[in-house]
Structure 1
Amino acid sequence: MLGTIVVLLAFADLTAAITCANGGNLVATGCSNSYQCALYTNSPVACLSSQCCTVPHTCSNGCPPLALGCTSASQCLPYRGNYYTVTCINGMCCPA
């Protein structure tokens, strides 16, 4: 049991140090969509090549994006959380 805890803590430290292709930090692996990544952090995340990565972008209204890769606002609806409206701006799901 103690060995498992040590391994998990070591993995947590390792993932915090890995930078993803988008410039964000690795938070998990094995995803097929960004929605799966939301379980691992409160920060905006994207699934990039099966890696959950934080999103280092900012929406035009100053808010962090809720997700990346959208082409329409309807694709952002699953990520809206407590926001009533969301929009797609330059491929980012942003609170409106």
Structure 2
Amino acid sequence: MILAAGLGNRMRPLTLYKPKPLLEVGGKALIVWHIEKLKKIGVTEIVINSAWLADILIGTLGDGSQFGVTIRWTREDEGLETAGGIINALALLGDQPFILWCRCD
């Protein structure tokens, strides 16, 4: 699971119209670096939570096929913080262990 629902307040004004995970570093979106790293270690099923500017984030990454992974999405009307985002995604995560990927900033 990748946590991607935050408002990105510390990155204003860059995040007023673009969700923080889509901000680019080194020529690609932050979240794409994470997706590629997960794929490299063999993770091909990814759940991503979304809230702030979710339509833009989901529209850009879609189902993950462009990266060779499967992305399933959860949507939050408002950010639920870390634990809330995970609880909201439990139905997609199942009952097996999973990796939680965050920037922890």
Question: Which TM-score band (shorter chain)?
Answer: under 0.3
What TM-score, normalized by structure 2, do the two folds share?
A: 0.25
Which has the larger Rg? 1
What TM-score, normalized by structure 1, do the two folds share?
A: 0.26
Q: Which has the higher strand share?
A: 1
Q: Which has the higher helix share?
A: 2
